[in-house]
Structure 1
């Protein structure tokens, strides 16, 4: 999906904010470390403590910003979130027991990857809005990486998908592997018709489509030369389908208007409709079966951790503060 420059800026910032909030929700620790006795302990898991203040700060970040919740809805969400916190603390306690660590270089590499889509100014602004320092963020990132490591080591290490399982899935779900006709296309999007007509003239004179898309397209895929990848009918807006599925390979479309601007398309390849053979469908099947097996293994691992862990929850304290 594409949009004008202003819409794309909002879209990108929204996704960054979404990623930021998800990671913050996953990594519970408070905005600042608390001094002794400043807040009562709500939860203990194998010696790890979570204070009420830390829990409340983290919980508030998970709530929709503009939606008004009833007291009962808020209470239900709080109980659900408490379960997530327990699971997180169980994982960290197990990481402690197994001496799972992340190195400073691993943390720095992950920090670079998670902030690569931000300008320094954007990232600093987001930190300020969340009342976080870079050290806070780095500590939470390291904690999340420890959780990922211990899950991979203790829960996923024995998960394997056999060839017979792949074959059995294919046999049972043959209809899922009827692939429709697909095209691989590029697009170039501009805000004004005049600009589009001018660029269309340059393309017809032999200039490279990908190069012009990188330089002028308002769509995020412009960074990849306008490459939309492979898609079938119905996966893109109807204005796209009406053009690209009729366009000959190697031909450039006329200017196409949509709610997002003015588009030019280039179809690079076509795939006819076909039924995938087992060997063609196997990578997709194996990936799905691996995901399902890992999810089952993770849940079984958590159940086992809960059985042997010492978990204390001050429900009276939680009930007293439900209206806060």
Structure 2
């Protein structure tokens, strides 16, 4: 898999950037990649879509973001061109499986409404997703295919990074967050009467984890507001909290499990260590692969236009 931060960067570049479109005569050419062009007008239009609504960025901040966006755009186009050169294609069932995964937690029609609010058509979103998945596939095949992690590398990393595997005391917590105290009390009464916590979280919680039934997974002290910590680490397992007020609203907590503090042994940490070593190797391989693509491509950027 592409390291997450790189995949996010690639997916931020919305599709249809215009590399295969004729540049409008009224707009100067900003970028050329092996003869394909992107106009300044088209670049700006796509760049604006990546900015948060109502943003108030300084000129310097905007210029920095534009340059970063342009680099991402170049890397994206190089990766897509390499997929064509190598004959890497995305099977229809691969795309449909990911579409279904994205839509899984949305009621009928809600996904389309979300896209409409963002000014994105379903067809454009599907094309963007398809290109992102194709990029991930070509990177996996072309850059990551020879990467392996040996037992010696796992043991060496573990011995050199002992402190990373000190696990503090943790609690697995579910929460419901609402903005109104009376609503919180009503929900608490419903829970005390036997209503399902996950069901109420999905239907009432303002927090993003509400989609997962309020499941925060395991948390350690200091990760949440102090009021939250006090309740989460004093409640008996299986007991509901009283209504907890924080700057985010009114919380109802349920502690499902606890873990004592410990240092993970090599066996306990093996998969975690392997993933860390693998990610480091993939980061390096991905950068080397991109550098090779850049060295073989004819790229011209008129930086003075930004």
Is 1:125 equivalent to 2:88 in the alignment?
no
Deviation for aligned residue 1:181: 0.8
CA distance, structure 2, for counterparts of residue 37 and residue 54 of structure 1: 12
- Judge conservation of contact 2:83–2:135 (CA < 8 Å) in 1: yes
Residue correspondence of structure 1 range 230-249 to structure 2 within 5 A: 230-249=218-237
Q: 1:55 to 1:287 in 2, by over 3 A?
A: same
RMSD: 3.4
CA distance, structure 2, for counterparts of residue 74 and residue 209 of structure 1: 44
Contiguous gaps of at least 5 residues in structure 1: 1-18
Is 1:187 equivalent to 2:179 in the alignment?
no
Q: Which residue of 2 aligns with 1:13?
A: none
CA distance, structure 1, for counterparts of residue 244 and residue 172 of structure 2: 18
Q: Which residue of 2 aligns with 1:254?
A: 242
Q: Which residue of 1 aligns with 2:145?
A: 157
Is 1:313 equivalent to 2:300 in the alignment?
yes
- Judge conservation of contact 1:178–1:275 (CA < 8 Å) in 2: yes
Q: Which residue of 2 aligns with 1:274?
A: 262
CA distance, structure 2, for counterparts of residue 89 and residue 238 of structure 1: 46
Q: 1:45 to 1:235 in 2, by over 3 A?
A: same
- Judge conservation of contact 1:48–1:93 (CA < 8 Å) in 2: no
Deviation for aligned residue 1:198: 4.5
Which of 74, 78, 85 pairs up with 1:90? 78
CA distance, structure 2, for counterparts of residue 35 and residue 290 of structure 1: 42
CA distance, structure 2, for counterparts of residue 279 and residue 143 of structure 1: 38
Which of 255, 262, 276 pairs up with 1:288? 276
- Judge conservation of contact 1:180–1:274 (CA < 8 Å) in 2: yes
Q: Which residue of 1 aligns with 2:58?
A: 69
SS at structure 1 position matched to 2:118: helix
Give CA deviations for 1:134-186 in whole Å, capped at 9, x if unaligned. Answer: 44443333333222221111011111111211111111111221111111122
Deviation for aligned residue 1:207: 4.8
CA distance, structure 2, for counterparts of residue 314 and residue 213 of structure 1: 50
Deviation for aligned residue 1:201: 4.3
Q: Which residue of 2 aligns with 1:56?
A: 44
Deviation for aligned residue 1:212: 4.5
CA distance, structure 2, for counterparts of residue 147 and residue 180 of structure 1: 38
Q: Which residue of 2 aligns with 1:6?
A: none
Aligned residues: 295
Q: Which residue of 1 aligns with 2:3?
A: none
Deviation for aligned residue 1:244: 1.9
Deviation for aligned residue 1:94: 1.3
SS at structure 1 position matched to 2:176: strand
- Judge conservation of contact 2:179–2:249 (CA < 8 Å) in 1: yes
Q: 1:190 to 1:165 in 2, by over 3 A?
A: same
SS at structure 2 position matched to 1:122: helix
Q: 1:156 to 1:280 in 2, by over 3 A?
A: same
CA distance, structure 1, for counterparts of residue 133 and residue 97 of structure 2: 11
- Judge conservation of contact 2:231–2:241 (CA < 8 Å) in 1: yes
Larger Rg: 1
Larger displacement relative to structure 2 (38-47 or 237-246): 38-47
Q: Which residue of 2 aligns with 1:177?
A: 165
Deviation for aligned residue 1:62: 4.3
